[in-house]
Structure 1
Amino acid sequence: MCSRAASEIPFDRIQNVDIAQNVFQRALGIAEVRLETAGGGETEARLRYVSRPEATRIQEIVSERKRGEAERDPEEPDDALFELDSGELAVLGLTSANFNLFGLVVLLFVVLGTPVAAEQVSPRLAVLLFLGPALAAVALVVLWVLSGIQAVLRYYAFRLVRHEDELRYQRGLFQQYNGTIPLSKIQTLMIRENVIARAVGYGNLAIETAGYGPGQGNDDIESAIPIAKQARLFDLARTIEDFGEISFNRPPKRARIRYVGRYTIFVAVLVAALGGIHLQTGVLSDWYLGVVLWLLVPPAAHLKWVNLGYYCDENYVITRSGFWTRQTTVVPYYRVQTVSVSQTVFQRRRRLGTLVVDTASSGGFWGGNGIALDIDIEEASRLHETIHNRFQLSVRERRAGNLRSPQPGD
């Protein structure tokens, strides 16, 4: 009431038009329309009290105007790519564990679960934290259940369709959401499989666009497919980017030896810390039993190594990494921004390096860059040159194709 602002947004700057409805808005038949621009995922404008049919019409108009075409009949059917059924929704709930929070909970109860540390916090809390392992297990189960409930509510009735040159999705039980993903803005595809989902053959497909993770802002990336069988995920990914069969190259075995050394140092530091606590306080008389953790070092090093890989073909560079959440990243050459090779002091000792293929994505915690970790340094240099040359070639081919293509209005 005290101030009024007016803004003008060119159609070609609008990257996404998203529609959100909570329970009360659905009851009133209204929705909120969010106009997102390419400037880093900022919401440029919000239309908060729009009727649901009008919100759909606005989304359709912007989509057509961006292509310079006549308005399309919103009732015309789209090409359905994926619908989440009840069985997949149940699997999503069971496999949506947040391993980052799990690690924090375990660390909290391991550190504070010792009598000395607990007493420093609070005498009353000491009694509870003395049961640290049991409470940590309960907390992990509670977090697992809460993560599953959140995922089910978030992706209830999920549906993905192809609409002309963009993808459109809808999801949500209490907070319904309709969003768009322009195909022309897609930078990378990421197939993610956490350890639980991978054990039963499932994963999810995420899409990152230039400067924007649709529906979630800068700090996250939207799941194009929240859960599906691994083979189906790759088939769906190929409907977006036409890459072929993947045959990953693993890093050399000396990288695995490096991981054994790294984890051994970690165990040694931990045992030394426990021994220091014993000397200072007299507690933890069995501190030396911490060396038993070294038995986990060889399998941990192998699991890290076996889940690393890279692959290049004529049009794409594809990388894979991660054990707790394994991520396969597909980067088209024409989306590459920079290619770099780096070496740490420890990598130089074993003639290893890390290749990073950077795109114009929004980054965030997960990031959308392709990373080939701990590969042979000579191989990294060769890949650097190959990716650079194929990027230049793909850009020239696309420019030539655009010049030959008829333009609107011709």
Structure 2
Amino acid sequence: MGLLVGFVTGLPQLFFPIVAVIFGSGSRNRPELIPLVIFAVLLVSLFFRWLVWLRTHYHIGDDDIRIERGIISRTTRSIPYDRIQDVSIEQKPLARLIGLGEVKFETGGGEGEDAKLSFVSVEEATRLRETIRARKAEAVPAIGVSNETAETESLPVFAMQLQRLLTLGVYSFSLVIFAILGGLAQQFDFLLPGDVWDVRRWIGMAEENGVDIRQIDRTVQIGGAVAALAALVGIGVATGIVRTVVRDYGFRLDRTAKGFRRRRGLLTLTDVVMPVARVQAAVIETGPIRVRSGWHALKFVSLAQESKEEGDHMVAPLATLDEIRPIMAVAGIDPPAADTLFRRGPLRWWSVGIILLAATMTAATATIMAFTDLPFLQAGWMLIVPLIFLPVIWLQWRHSGWLVDDRQLCARENWWNRRLTIAPQVRVQSAKISQGPIARLFGLVTLHFGIAGGTLRFVALRPDEARTIRDQVMAAVAPVDFSEINRRG
């Protein structure tokens, strides 16, 4: 059944090979052969998938799990239990319908999952995860332990109902659908009638139907522009809602004996267990619009990365601070109080961008005026651009800063996508002070903290201040046995 699921889900990848075979074999001139060509390509693909399935084995040993695969060149991957950071189960739509899933093993190597088993039954996937967790705890589970038995101690920590899911979708405004349609139109423009990108062609078609764009009333033009803008906003909101519902439907975060268990997904169901000991830092995100309603998002920076694109584990996509605090408390992280004063660098550091932008626009204006006959009023409009960004720079400065207490490091940044990173000092693995040529002119430095799975930095510090903070953090980190920390959970 897993072979069938893999074959069906891989059909879109066969589109271009089928087209290439049809054109290369000359079958396009003999339409009656096209179905035979398509069937032959599908049969060859199924045959090779069968060979791969036949030559793929996995073995659960006393100290590691081994995965062997390969048709001509055989490879064996051995993953010790104490190196496995995370075991997640993912069920895509067809696999979910049949009762199969993919098991992903992650060791925190920074490149997504290190090994994957596709496909096994949900019962086998759950057994693998529980076996690995038990072996890591140096205890062998009893045979026949079910998923329900293993998770009976779980307590619900956070869940999202449909109403909150729709609210998150509205905040997740996205125009990605236009990028997808534009990419498809460029890839398959040969299938479209005429040149869809030729504006003059569309104007000509309108004039052929008795519509002269130049004679359209100004009110109608403004109304059309407003209607187009409203349609654009509507499509963006609808796209955000659809993407959010598909990804986060049924979002549920449970507290288990080992840490957190997160399940979500409408079409593709993911089941991820995040041990508390693997949490390196917490990230609270919000925005100028979202924060007015009290909404925030909480992510955990973990040793195990969820995917190549997303290194943070989302544990609360849309929650209030009162809902976030208990989740962070389980991980041993405390958010700063609302009235806490963050320290921030001088405003002149943020003004460097405006100065460089103004210099660039001035040079561009002078170049245009030197090589064209445009007057200053027509070419000098670009000088207004730096003035537009002045409020943005001020807002960026207002919403940046850092905070150091006896136990934690806090750094906040950005005005639009506001991000507050909180990391216990004992999780810091390195500290680096950097100073570029422009920062040297201002006598400022940047303090970078290395955290497994993420980064944290303090911007625009005085050198003596940065050294003091670095020495304080290193004094707290030096006695810590990281191998013992990472072995827990």
Return the alpha-carbon distance in structure 2 between the equivalents of residues 370 and 301 of structure 1: 21
Return the alpha-carbon distance in structure 2 between the equivalents of residues 57 and 269 of structure 1: 61
Q: CA deviation at 1:331?
A: 1.5
1:85 correspondence with 2:161: yes
Distance 1:90 1:266, change over 3 A: same
1:124 correspondence with 2:210: no
Return the alpha-carbon distance in structure 2 between the equivalents of residues 229 and 213 of structure 1: 25
Distance 1:291 1:88, change over 3 A: same
Q: CA deviation at 1:154?
A: 0.7
Q: CA deviation at 1:171?
A: 0.6
Q: Is the 8 A contact 1:30 1:52 kept in 2?
A: yes
Matched with 1:96 is: 172
1:356 correspondence with 2:484: no
Match among 260, 269, 279 for residue 351 of structure 2? 260
Q: CA deviation at 1:222?
A: 2.6
Residue type of the alignment partner of 1:376: R
Matched with 2:131 is: 61
Return the alpha-carbon distance in structure 2 between the equivalents of residues 347 and 136 of structure 1: 42
Return the alpha-carbon distance in structure 2 between the equivalents of residues 265 and 136 of structure 1: 33
Residue type of the alignment partner of 2:155: D
Match among 257, 265, 287 for residue 194 of structure 1? 287
Matched with 2:457 is: 371
Distance 1:126 1:302, change over 3 A: farther
Distance 1:148 1:43, change over 3 A: same
Return the alpha-carbon distance in structure 2 between the equivalents of residues 379 and 44 of structure 1: 40
Return the alpha-carbon distance in structure 2 between the equivalents of residues 98 and 374 of structure 1: 33
Match among 138, 141, 151 for residue 244 of structure 2? 151
Superposition TM-score, scaled by structure 2 size: 0.66
Matched with 2:186 is: none
Distance 1:29 1:277, change over 3 A: same
Q: CA deviation at 1:138?
A: 6.9
Q: Is the 8 A contact 1:358 1:370 kept in 2?
A: yes
Identity %: 23
Alignment of 1:276-291 (within 5 A): 276-277=367-368, 280=371, 286-291=378-383
Q: Is the 8 A contact 1:243 1:315 kept in 2?
A: no
Q: Is the 8 A contact 2:302 2:311 kept in 1?
A: no
Match among 2, 16, 19 for residue 89 of structure 2? 19
CA deviation string 1:21-48 (max 9, x = no partner): 1221122122222222333345343332
Matched with 1:114 is: none
CA deviation string 1:239-284 (max 9, x = no partner): 21233634242224xx213323421431442354255446545579
Give the SS at the match of 1:149: helix
Match among 157, 169, 172 for residue 265 of structure 2? 172
Give the SS at the match of 2:478: helix
Alignment of 1:6-405 (within 5 A): 6-71=76-141, 73-97=149-173, 124=198, 142-143=235-236, 145-210=238-303, 212-214=304-306, 216-217=307-308, 220-243=311-334, 245-246=336-337, 247-252=340-345, 255-270=346-361, 272-274=363-365, 276-277=367-368, 280=371, 286-361=378-453, 368-393=454-479, 395=480
Q: Is the 8 A contact 2:325 2:334 kept in 1?
A: no
Give the SS at the match of 1:384: helix
Distance 1:281 1:56, change over 3 A: farther
Distance 1:206 1:80, change over 3 A: same
Q: Is the 8 A contact 2:174 2:237 kept in 1?
A: yes
Structure 1 unaligned runs (5+)?
A: 106-121, 362-367
CA deviation string 1:106-134 (max 9, x = no partner): xxxxxxxxxxxxxxxx9825899xx9x99
Distance 1:146 1:26, change over 3 A: same
Superposition TM-score, scaled by structure 1 size: 0.78
CA deviation string 1:295-346 (max 9, x = no partner): 4344222211111111122221111111121111112222211112222232
Return the alpha-carbon distance in structure 1 between the equivalents of residues 401 and 174 of structure 2: 24
Return the alpha-carbon distance in structure 2 between the equivalents of residues 369 and 9 of structure 1: 27
Distance 1:374 1:19, change over 3 A: same
Distance 1:195 1:358, change over 3 A: same
Residue type of the alignment partner of 1:307: H
Distance 1:296 1:19, change over 3 A: same
CA deviation string 1:330-385 (max 9, x = no partner): 12222211112222232233332211111122xxxxxx211111123332221111
Give the SS at the match of 2:415: coil
Return the alpha-carbon distance in structure 2 between the equivalents of residues 62 and 315 of structure 1: 33
Distance 1:224 1:290, change over 3 A: same
Larger deviation, residues 31-40 vs 241-250:
241-250
Give the SS at the match of 2:465: helix
Give the SS at the match of 1:43: coil
Q: Is the 8 A contact 2:88 2:273 kept in 1?
A: yes
Which of structures 1 and 2 has the bigger CA Rg?
2
Structure 2 unaligned runs (5+)?
A: 1-50, 52-70, 180-195, 203-220
Q: CA deviation at 1:70?
A: 4.4
Q: CA deviation at 1:59?
A: 1.8
Residue type of the alignment partner of 1:124: D
Give the SS at the match of 1:9: strand
Q: CA deviation at 1:235?
A: 3.9
CA RMSD of aligned residues (A): 3.6
